[in-house]
Amino acid sequence: MPRLPDAPASLATLEGRLRERAAALAQEVRAYPTPIARCDEQLTGLLERRSRLFRALAALERFTQSAGAATALAALESALGELEPGDLDAACAATCAALRAEWRARPGACGPADSWANDGGLAA
């Protein structure tokens, strides 16, 4: 599929922030004190947060590769919505809201009639 031709720099910023947070969580997992009990909920939580960040990065990649398809943006918003509050800062949420507004205005891409427009995604 064609890559999004006019992807804003904010997409790169969003990707960078998600990668930074994923790397920080990976470091926390590597530095986790041993021995680790099977019922250790804190480690399980770190692993789940890291997985959600990787899913958000994959959704971002699909969005940029899909030339801004509405379904890809909806998937990106959904993946970002699953993140912990500390993993998605206000700037990332604002970037996603700006993307939604920009692509909704494009004729034939993500017009206002698309189903994701009112699906409870990130608030603008």
* pLDDT 10s digits, 10-40: 777 788 888 988 899 899 988 888 887 777 7
CB distance 98 to 10 below 8 Å: yes
Grade residue 3 by pLDDT with cuts at 50, 70 and 90.
Answer: very low
Q: Name residues whose C-beta falls within 8 Å of residue 6's C-beta, 6 or more positions apart in sequence.
A: none
* pLDDT 10s digits, 35-59: 877 777 888 888 899 999 999 999 9
Torsion, CA 24, CA 82, CA 70, CA 100, rounded to 10 = -80
CB count, 10 Å around CB of 55?
A: 16
